[in-house]
C-alpha cells in the first residue's frame, strides 16, 4: 500500500485493492460471522414486533422501550447475581435467570398494555394504534429516566457494570480454521438461533400457534369458531414484549449496545427496518431480513474501517436497504398485500 501514489488519481486502484481484500476468503468469512451475529441481535429485537403486527395489525412503537426496560431489568439481575457467584458457568446461569425475569416481567407489562390501552381502540383506524404506542414510549422512556437518575444507576449513557458480568470466556476470541470470532458473537448466534427455532415451533407445533396463524388470516372466523380472540391477542402481545425483554438482556452484554435509555430509539429503528424489509407480519421474512441487514451492516462496517471515510456508512446503508426494498417491492420480501386480520 505504501508504494502507491497518494490520494487522488490512485483512488480507483485502492478501491480495487480493497475489493480484492474484501473478497478474500478469510475476510469474507469474518464478515459473514459478524453479520450473522448482528442478524441474531436484529432477529431478537424484531421477532416480537412481527408477531404482534402479524396477528393484530398493531405496529408497536413501544417495542424499543420495552427492549430497553428488558436491558435494565436483566442488568439488575446480572449485577445482583454476580455478587453471589463468579465462575463462568455461574454467570451463564445468572444470564439465564436474567432472561427469564426480563421475559416474565415484560410479558406481564405487555399483557397489561394490551388489555388496558390497545384493546379499547381496535375498532379505530390503525393510525391510532401507532399513536397510542408512541405515547406509551414517551411515558416508559421518561419513567426509566427518572428511575435511573433517582438511583444514580448511571451518569452517562452506558451502564458499564453489566458488561463486567460477562464470563471471561465470552470476551476471548475463538479461532477456527483461520476465522476468528469472539465468544460473545458465537453466544449471540446461539441465542438468536434458539429464539428463531422456539418461535417457529410455537407457531407451527402448538395449539396457540395455530390460533395465531389462523387469527392473522381472519380473526372474525377464528372467533366464530369459538376461540377467545381477545385472549389470543393478549397472549401474543405479552409474548412479543417478553421476547423484546429477552433481547434487551442479550444487548446488555454487548459493548456496542449496553443498557441505556436511548437504547429504546436505537433498537426501535433497526427493528422497524428488519420487519418492514421482511414484509410486515411474516416471521420467515423477518428472519431473512435480519440476515440481510446483519450482513449488509457487517460488510459496510468493514468497508468503513478499510476504505470509506464516512462514520455513518453502516447505519445509513441499513436505512437505504429499507428505502430501496420499499421502492422495489412495496410489500417487503415475503409480505402479503393485506395484513392484520381484523
Residues lying near another protein in the complex (CB under 8 A) are found at 59, 117, 120-121, 124-128, 130-132, 134-139, 141-143, 145-146, 149-150, 265, 269, 272-273, 276, 280, 310-313, 315-316, 319-320, 322-323, 326-327, 330-331
Q: How far is the CB of 231 from another protein (least distance, A)?
A: 22
The residue among 99 and 132 lying less far from another protein, judged by its C-beta, is 132
Q: Which is nearer to another protein, 187 or 272 (CB)?
A: 272
Q: Closest by alpha carbon to 325, among 283, 303, 296, 304?
A: 296
| Closer residue to another protein, CB minimum distance, 143 or 197 | 143
Chain centroid, CA 154 distance in Å: 23
Strand partners, 179: 176
The rounded distance, in Å, linking the Cα atoms of 8 and 262 is: 40
Taking the complex as a whole, the smallest distance from the CB of residue 132 to another protein amounts, in Å, to 5
CA 296 to each of CA 32, 39, 44, 143, 338: distance values in angstroms, whole numbers, following the listed order:
9, 10, 17, 35, 28
Three-class secondary structure of residue 295 per DSSP: helix
Residue 263 · residue 257 · CB < 8 Å:
yes
C-alpha cell at 280: 410486515
Kindly list the distances between the CA atom of residue 173 and the CA atoms of 50, 160, 168, 181, 185, in Å, as whole numbers in the listed order: 33, 21, 10, 5, 9
Nearer to another protein, 145 or 231 (CB): 145
We find the least distance from the C-beta atom of residue 235 to another protein, in angstroms, to be 23
Nearer to another protein, 142 or 228 (CB): 142
Q: Which residue has the cell 455513518?
A: 312
Q: How many CB atoms lie within 10 A of CB 299?
A: 19
**Residue 149 CB coordination number (10 Å):** 12
- The nearer residue to another protein, 295 or 313, going by C-beta atoms, is 313
Q: CB of 238: closest distance to another protein in angstroms?
A: 19
User: Residue 115 Cβ, how far from another protein at the closest point, in Å?
Assistant: 13
Indicate the length of the chain as a whole number: 342
Task: Give the cell for residue 328.
Answer: 422495489
Say how far apart CA 122 and CA 25 lie, in whole Å.
52
- Name the minimum Å distance from CB 285 to another protein: 14
For another protein, the closer CB: 50 or 188: 50
Rounded to a whole number of angstroms, the minimum distance from the CB of residue 203 to another protein is 22
Q: Collapsing DSSP states into helix, strand and coil, what is residue 176?
A: strand
Query: Minimal distance in Å, beta carbon 118 to another protein?
Result: 10
Identity of the residue, 59 or 106, whose beta carbon is nearer to another protein in the bound complex: 59
Indicate the helix (H) or strand (E) that contains 179: strand 179-182
Amino acid at each position: 500500500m505504501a508504494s502507491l501514489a497518494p490520494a487522488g488519481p490512485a483512488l480507483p486502484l485502492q478501491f480495487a485493492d480493497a475489493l480484492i481484500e474484501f473478497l478474500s476468503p478469510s475476510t469474507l468469512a469474518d464478515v459473514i460471522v459478524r453479520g450473522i451475529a448482528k442478524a441474531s441481535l436484529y432477529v431478537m429485537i424484531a421477532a416480537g414486533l412481527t408477531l404482534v403486527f402479524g396477528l393484530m395489525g398493531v405496529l408497536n412503537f413501544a417495542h424499543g422501550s420495552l427492549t430497553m426496560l428488558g436491558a435494565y431489568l436483566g442488568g439488575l439481575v446480572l449485577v445482583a447475581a454476580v455478587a453471589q457467584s463468579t465462575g463462568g458457568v455461574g454467570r451463564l446461569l445468572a444470564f439465564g435467570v436474567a432472561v427469564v425475569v426480563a421475559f416474565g416481567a415484560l410479558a406481564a407489562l405487555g399483557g397489561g398494555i394490551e388489555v388496558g390501552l390497545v384493546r379499547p381502540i381496535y375498532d379505530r383506524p390503525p393510525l391510532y394504534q401507532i399513536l397510542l404506542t408512541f405515547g406509551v414510549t414517551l411515558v416508559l422512556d421518561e419513567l426509566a429516566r427518572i428511575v435511573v437518575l433517582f438511583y444514580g444507576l448511571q451518569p452517562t449513557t452506558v451502564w458499564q457494570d453489566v458488561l463486567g458480568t460477562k464470563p471471561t470466556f465470552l470476551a476471548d476470541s475463538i479461532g477456527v480454521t483461520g476465522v476468528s470470532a469472539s465468544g460473545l458473537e458465537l453466544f449471540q448466534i446461539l441465542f438468536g438461533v434458539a429464539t428463531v427455532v422456539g418461535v417457529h415451533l410455537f407457531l407451527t407445533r402448538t395449539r396457540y400457534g395455530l390460533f395465531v396463524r389462523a387469527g392473522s388470516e381472519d380473526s372474525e372466523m377464528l372467533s366464530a369458531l369459538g376461540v377467545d380472540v381477545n385472549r389470543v391477542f393478549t397472549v401474543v402481545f405479552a409474548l412479543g414484549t417478553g421476547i423484546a425483554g429477552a433481547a434487551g438482556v442479550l444487548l446488555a452484554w454487548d459493548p456496542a449496545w449496553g443498557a441505556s435509555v436511548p437504547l429504546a430509539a436505537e433498537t426501535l429503528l433497526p427493528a422497524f427496518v428488519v420487519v418492514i424489509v421482511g414484509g410486515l407480519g411474516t416471521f420467515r421474512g423477518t428472519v431473512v431480513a435480519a440476515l440481510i441487514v446483519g450482513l449488509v451492516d457487517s460488510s459496510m462496517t468493514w468497508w468503513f474501517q478499510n476504505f470509506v471515510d464516512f462514520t455513518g456508512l453502516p447505519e445509513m446503508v441499513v436505512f437505504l436497504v429499507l428505502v430501496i426494498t420499499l421502492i422495489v417491492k412495496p410489500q417487503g420480501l415475503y409480505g402479503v398485500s393485506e395484513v392484520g386480520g381484523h
